[in-house]
Each structure stands twice: as C-alpha cells, then as structure tokens.
Amino acid sequence: MSLSRRQFTKEFKEAAVRRLELGASLAAVARACEVNPNVLHRWRRELRDYRAAAFSGNGRRRPEESRVAELERKVGRQAMEIDFLGRCLQHVEEQRKLQALTTRGSSTRTSRKK
C-alpha cells in the first residue's frame, strides 16, 4: 500500500494563513485544514518571505535559490581544485628538494680544463 503525498493549492494555503492572521488559533486551523501545525508555520513563513512568489509549485526552486546553489557548487569545485593543485605543488617541491640533495652529494665530476 503506497501512501501518496497530499497536495494543496496556493489558494488553500493562503486561506489557511489568512485565518491565522485573523486571530484563529494555530491548533484550530491545523485541525480544520487537517495538517500538522508545523506545516502552517512553514506556509506562514513562506508567504511572509516571498509574498507573490510563495507556493510556486512542486519542488521547483525560485530563480535566486537556483543561482545560489549553482554558485555554491562552483565554489566547492574550485576549492577541490585548489586543494589538488596545492598537493601537486607540494609533491613537486619535495621531489625538487630530494633531487637537489642527491645530485649535490653524489656529484664526482671535476671540471676539465681545455
């Protein structure tokens, strides 16, 4: 038996929040709408924060949220590249120092006079 997720229209959500703003208790509105009080809190916050763009649809992000997520991914990739290149540079420096020590100590060449 699969339980489907209930979906509420934008108008339904706005009406529930409007009832809260008119002074109805959270518990009473939650019972009347058959939703958890936490859902009403979320609806009220979303309507307050995004007024006209609130309740835009099923799982669709707002354009500004998409842009922020894209930039965060880019920063993460660049941080990984910087770490990788830093480790590569450290490895090259270690190899250079090791090579300088081995060539300096084992060199037995003498300069030739022509």
Asked whether residue 11 is domain-assigned, the answer is yes
DSSP annotation of 6 reads P
Q: Is residue 99 part of a domain?
A: no
User: Could you tell me the residue range of the domain that residue 53 belongs to?
Assistant: 7-60
Q: How confident is the model at residue 114 (pLDDT cuts 50, 70, 90)?
A: low
Give the residue carrying structure tokens 């959500």.
13
pTM surpassing 0.85?
no
Roughly what angle, to the nearest 10 degrees, separates helices 26-33 and 37-50?
100
Residue 77 is assigned to a structural domain of this protein? no
Residue 3 pLDDT class (50, 70, 90 cuts): confident
pLDDT in tens, 19-47: 999 999 999 999 999 999 999 999 999 88
Asked whether residue 37 is domain-assigned, the answer is yes
Residue pointed to by tokens 């706005």:
14
- CATH number, domain of 17, equals 1.10.10
Q: How many domains does the chain have?
A: 1
Closest CA to 40 of 29, 56, 53, 51: 29
H helices present in 2-114, as ranges: 10-21, 26-33, 37-50, 63-106
Q: What would the mean pLDDT of 41-60 be, rounded to a whole number?
A: 80
Residue 98 domain-assigned? no
Tell me if 25 is assigned to some domain: yes
Which of 82, 79, 60 is CA-nearest to residue 71?
79
Within a domain: 20 = yes
pLDDT at residue 58, as a whole number? 61
Does 52 reside within a domain? yes
- CB atoms under 10 Å from CB of 47, counted, come to 20
pLDDT in tens, 62-99: 667 778 888 999 999 999 999 999 999 999 999 999 99
